[in-house]
A and B are shown apart, each in its own frame.
Chain A
Amino acid sequence: MVDETDNTPKGAAGEPSPENKVKPPERQYPEPRKVLQRKAAPPEPAKTGHVWDGIEEYDNPMPRWWLWTFYICIIWAVIYMILYPAWPLVSQATPGILGHSTRGDVAREIESFEARNEVWFQRLVETEVAALRDDVELERFAVRAGGAVFAAQCSQCHGSGGGGVQAGGFPSLVDDDWLWGGTLEDIHLTIAHGIRNETDPMARWSEMPAFGRDGILEDEEIDQVVEYVLAMSGQDHDAALAEAGAEVFEWNCAACHMEDGSGNMDLGAPALNNQVWLYGGDRETIRHTVVYSRFGVMPAFAGRLREAEIRAVAVYVHQLGGGQ
């Protein structure tokens, strides 16, 4: 038993006590390695009496640190309920004395971002439209801001990449062919006032007559002028009809589309001598256009967006690849 006390590994009790020093050592030494088993097995703890499939449950106390963690959590929960929104009521939760709300956080965050953007919006409005891309920093901001507005307001018709709908009536903004002009100022005016809408008196406006439906041209003349337009854009055509169509074109179409078919951006009259077609450039589609005419519209954004946003979108569209 001397070994028992002497070998107690921890603390002050580990030092040999004065009694042991004077006592002659007993001759019983543990076998080597037996020291490992010298601690007595603790007595069996009490059981709860619950038995499941022969498995019994010990009624052990909970670890103290665990219990204290639990108590601290409860105290913290009470403090939390007092400070923060906690109990759901009919229309809202108890507000808590700190008056904190996640919506409020978001609102504040949005406000702070808007305040930061305001400086840039101011610069956008104060700069000449034509000079918006001269300042690299301002351009960078405008492209980012304009891109966001474009995704929300423009992409529904013009596509998220600005490619429009080929031959579908929604013009591509990334090519080099423009109906109403591709300078920053032209684009800005188009976005602000729109095209052929009834809401904005300053909207861009022009109207092509429905040459067939309204009986302005005979069927035969329409066939001729369609062949002439096909010839103009370098497509397969009936040479004899096209030759006859030249005169029809000069009298009926050249006023807007110009004699060489290069179009007139002041009137939104598209060029007919190139490879870009808003509604399609095949024989059938051109004939349909001549007979019934077209009437593409775009809303005015002057009332919907801030001037600075319109300018930002104009810069964004201008740098997509088609800007003039």
Chain B
Amino acid sequence: MSTTPETPQLYAAREPVFPRRVSGRFRNLKWWLVAVMLGIYYITPWIRWDRGPNMPDQAVLVDLANRRFFFFFVEIWPHEFYFVAGLLIMAGLGLFLFTSALGRVWCGYACPQTVWTDLFIQTERWIEGDRNARVRNWQAPWGFRKGRIYLTKWTVWLLIALATGGAWVFYFTDAPTLLRDLIAFQAHPVAYTTIGILTATTFLFGGFFREQVCIYACPWPRIQAAMMDEDTLTIAYRDWRGEPRGKLKKGRLDPEQGDCIDCMACVNVCPMGIDIRDGQQLACITCGLCIDACDEVMDRIGKPRGLIGYLALSDELHEKQGKPPISVWRHVFRPRTVLYSVLWGGVGIGLIVLLLMRTDLDMSVAQVRNPLYVTLSDGSVRNAYEVRIRNMHHEPREFTLALEAPVPMALDLEGIDGFTVTIAPDEMLNQRLYLVAPADSPAATTQRTDVTLRATEPESGQVVAVETLFNGREN
């Protein structure tokens, strides 16, 4: 543990970042995205969707207890989990597509860490003021004023965090009921625990950890590098235009000097606390705020915009040779992104087709092979089968079971006279049935016979058929 004085500190303490307010194209876009995404997150659980009696009327609901997922008109059963797998594949391909085309656009605009940090910084700005005021507060000794300001800030953060954690649990059970229970302290402990954990993580991640989550904790920046190439758009500083940088002196424009006036605007607005002029770096989440800040300055000093802008690696060589900038669309549309789009769209279309083609009826037949067959007293051979029929409707349904066999054989249902079974709503029926082949019939004396079992709903005419085997005495 003892460190000698000359040993350098390997682990530098975090230097707090106080991003300055900025306005411009990307800032506006980001506010819109924050509003839309937080809106979706908070409002979705409160949308109602009528599904008839005894069914939840929440449009989006993950009903873990009853193992159902509801999404508007779609109802996913556990055996249809491949839809979730498909959506995850789409999410993966989508990230490939966006990363190869637009770099870390997810990090800069859509990642919850970015969105909530943005919200927290804005809150901080409302309560304390802009960058300079916040730096002053930070450096001020602890006292009544600092305590009051920080306490106010933390309280508002905590309320935002509580709303975040609170909204999450509404996705898992009926939102109005849960809200009433939560307020009355009658909700399930799991709900309180979940809210508590998410409130704590939101508060800490958005208020205190901020850029450190992206730099140290998140694996995504490391993985992204593998998906970026020389055409991927990232944010870069046109050093061939900006350097040598130097202060702007009133009235005197040094012809030797580049366009960068070293005003630090790009650094001061950066939520990650980096200097984009150092080049592309791991900590840059490509949020675009430095572009806005620099454009503002360029406008003021009468220089063209775009000293900092979205650039691809290939642009650097190209522009250094004095050629005009390459269109952004040329970078975005290239074989790689087209291929990702095609794959992404293919999986999406596949899922939609599956969704439209899926039946609300599911039948499976498992042959009882212990014993393989049973000889009855008149010498006939009997096979038993476990039939499972799932009724995915919300009302009871009747089905008539029938046998289709190439040779004489009789169908018989355990415990039921006739061939009609009734299945309760949202239930699975387990029914044993028997096939009996007469003593000297072909099916009884051979090894096996292919047969088909059919379930027909007389009311709708819907049919589901399953092929299976009949084992004869030759086994």
Residues of B within 8 A of A99 (CB): none
Q: Which of B1-48 contact A (CB under 8 A)?
A: 1, 3-4, 6-8, 10-11, 15-18
Contact B8 A6 (CB under 8 A): no
Q: How many chain B residues touch A (Cβ–Cβ < 8 Å)?
A: 49
Fill in one digit per residue for A8-48: 1 if any B CB lies within 8 Å of its CB, else 0.
01111011100000000100011111011000001101100
In the complex, how many angstroms separate the beta carbon of A41 from the nearest chain B beta carbon? 10
In the complex, how many angstroms separate the beta carbon of B282 from the nearest chain A beta carbon? 13
- Beyond A10-B17, A25-B246, A46-B7, whether A33 also contacts B376 by CB under 8 A is no
Of B102-110, B186-194, B269-277, B397-405, the one with at least 4 CB within 8 A of chain A = B269-277
In the complex, how many angstroms separate the beta carbon of A182 from the nearest chain B beta carbon? 11
Residues of B within 8 A of A271 (CB): 377
Residue A252, interface by CB 8 Å = no
Of the residues B243, B267, B382, B384, contact of A29 by C-beta under 8 Å: B243
Fill in one digit per residue for B398-440: 1 if any A CB lies within 8 Å of its CB, else 0.
0000000000000000110000000000000000101000010
- Beyond A10-B17, A12-B138, A133-B415, whether A161 also contacts B4 by CB under 8 A is no
Question: Main SS of chain B's interface residues?
Answer: loop
Contact A176 B377 (CB under 8 A): yes
Fill in one digit per residue for B358-390: 1 if any A CB lies within 8 Å of its CB, else 0.
000000000010110011111100101000000
Residues of B within 8 A of A60 (CB): 7, 10
Fill in one digit per residue for B431-470: 1 if any A CB lies within 8 Å of its CB, else 0.
0101000010000000000000000000000000000000
Contact A159 B11 (CB under 8 A): no
Residue A172, interface by CB 8 Å = yes
Contact A12 B18 (CB under 8 A): yes
Residue A285, interface by CB 8 Å = no
Contact A61 B434 (CB under 8 A): no
Residue B245, interface by CB 8 Å = yes
Contact B267 A172 (CB under 8 A): no
Contact A35 B244 (CB under 8 A): no
In the complex, how many angstroms separate the beta carbon of B356 from the nearest chain A beta carbon? 36
Fill in one digit per residue for A163-174: 1 if any B CB lies within 8 Å of its CB, else 0.
100000000101
How many contacting A-B pairs (Cβ < 8 A)?
A: 122
- Beyond A161-B368, A161-B370, A172-B374, whether A14 also contacts B246 by CB under 8 A is no
Of the residues A163, A276, A319, contact of B376 by C-beta under 8 Å: A276
Contact B135 A12 (CB under 8 A): yes
Residue B229, interface by CB 8 Å = no
Q: Which of A231-258 contact B (CB under 8 A)?
A: 234
Residues of B within 8 A of A206 (CB): none
Chain B, residue nearest A277 (CB): B375
Contact B8 A275 (CB under 8 A): no
Complex Cα gap A202–B401 (Å): 44
Contact A159 B371 (CB under 8 A): yes
- Beyond A14-B268, A42-B8, A61-B7, whether A33 also contacts B370 by CB under 8 A is no
Complex Cα gap A259–B224 (Å): 89
- Beyond A29-B244, A319-B432, A321-B374, whether A11 also contacts B17 by CB under 8 A is yes
Residues of B within 8 A of A62 (CB): 1
Residue A7, interface by CB 8 Å = yes
Of the residues A6, A35, A162, contact of B264 by C-beta under 8 Å: A6
Complex Cα gap A275–B375 (Å): 8
Fill in one digit per residue for A34-76: 1 if any B CB lies within 8 Å of its CB, else 0.
0110000011011000000000000111111001000000000
Of the residues B8, B17, B378, B382, contact of A43 by C-beta under 8 Å: B8
Residues of B within 8 A of A45 (CB): 7-8, 10
Contact B245 A29 (CB under 8 A): yes
Contact B371 A161 (CB under 8 A): yes
- Beyond A12-B18, A163-B371, A319-B415, whether A274 also contacts B377 by CB under 8 A is yes
Chain B, residue nearest A14 (CB): B267
Residue A127, interface by CB 8 Å = no
Residues of B within 8 A of A159 (CB): 370-371
Residue A177, interface by CB 8 Å = yes
Residue A175, interface by CB 8 Å = yes
- Beyond A33-B239, A43-B6, A275-B439, whether A172 also contacts B371 by CB under 8 A is yes
Contact B370 A275 (CB under 8 A): no
Contact A175 B374 (CB under 8 A): yes
Complex Cα gap A10–B268 (Å): 8
Contact B376 A175 (CB under 8 A): yes
Chain A, residue nearest B320 (CB): A32
Residues of A within 8 A of B415 (CB): 133, 139, 319
- Beyond A61-B7, A160-B370, A275-B376, whether A10 also contacts B414 by CB under 8 A is no
In the complex, how many angstroms separate the beta carbon of B234 from the nearest chain A beta carbon? 16
Of the residues B245, B273, B382, contact of A9 by C-beta under 8 Å: B273
Contact A321 B377 (CB under 8 A): no
Residues of B within 8 A of A42 (CB): 8
Residue B333, interface by CB 8 Å = no
Complex Cα gap A205–B282 (Å): 88
Complex Cα gap A172–B270 (Å): 81
- Beyond A9-B275, A32-B243, whether A174 also contacts B374 by CB under 8 A is yes
Shortest Cβ-Cβ A-B pairs, 6 listed:
A161-B370, A163-B371, A29-B244, A274-B377, A275-B379, A10-B15
Known: A175-B374, A274-B377. 18 other contacts (CB 8 A): A7-B277, A11-B15, A11-B16, A11-B18, A12-B139, A14-B267, A25-B247, A29-B245, A35-B277, A36-B278, A46-B6, A161-B368, A163-B370, A174-B371, A174-B384, A271-B377, A275-B376, A319-B415
Interchain residue pairs with CB less than 8 A apart (18): A6-B264, A7-B267, A10-B17, A11-B15, A12-B18, A12-B135, A15-B268, A32-B240, A33-B279, A45-B10, A133-B415, A163-B374, A174-B371, A175-B374, A175-B376, A175-B377, A274-B379, A321-B384
